[in-house]
Each structure stands twice: as C-alpha cells, then as structure tokens.
Structure 1
Amino acid sequence: MSDQKKKEEKAKRLAEQLRANLARRKSQARARRAGEGDARRDGIKAAKAEDKK
C-alpha cells in the first residue's frame, strides 16, 4: 500500500472518530440542558433545581 493511500485511510478514520465524538458530546450537552443525568454509571449526576423563595 502506498504512503498516500495510508494517509488517506488514516484521515478518513480520524474524521469518522471525530464525528462520533462530536455526536456523543452534543448528546451529553442536550441531556445536561434537559436536567437528565449521564447514561453512564460513572457519568455526572443530574443537576438539582434550586428552590426559589
């Protein structure tokens, strides 16, 4: 396999990983805005609503 072909495949793999990471982070941000906790066991806890007086 040529060096150019290897570089193109690596760039394609990295682009796919970047898109997957971005989608995951956007999903996490949406969940935080909605007040839901992370689905992962080690994730963040849901934000608690503050009592208004």
Structure 2
Amino acid sequence: MEKKAPAKKPKQTGETREDRLKQALKANLARRKAQVRARGSASTGKSEGEG
C-alpha cells in the first residue's frame, strides 16, 4: 500500500500565520499597556502587593 502525503496548499487569504501572530501580539501588547495605564491612574500610589 502506498502512502501519499496529502497536498497541503496554504490558504491565500492575504495573511500568513506569521502575519496573524504579529497582529495578535501587537493587539495584546496594546491591551496590556492600556490595562497598566488604567490601573496606574486608579491607584493612589499604593501597589497591589502592599497592604
């Protein structure tokens, strides 16, 4: 019995896996920075670890 590897063609939707990962990382970083800024402005100088 012969083993044939299925022909895998990358989807040509204009975005490769690497491009999608770059976009996801960039969005994640922006979201985390926004969270840090929000926590910093809501905080009155006392960090979460203190108390």
User: Structure 2-normalised TM-score?
Assistant: 0.57
Q: How many residues align?
A: 32
2:32 is aligned, of 18, 23, 34, to 18
Q: CA deviation at 1:24?
A: 0.2
**Matched residues, percent identical?**
12
More helix by share: 1
Give the unaligned 5+ runs of structure 2.
Answer: 1-14, 47-51
Detail structure 1 runs of 4+ shifted over 2 Å in the superposition: none
RMSD: 1.6
Give the unaligned 5+ runs of structure 1.
Answer: 34-53
The match for 2:18 is 4
Which of structures 1 and 2 has the larger relative contact order (alpha carbons within 8 angstroms, sep 6+)?
A: 1
User: Structure 1-normalised TM-score?
Assistant: 0.55
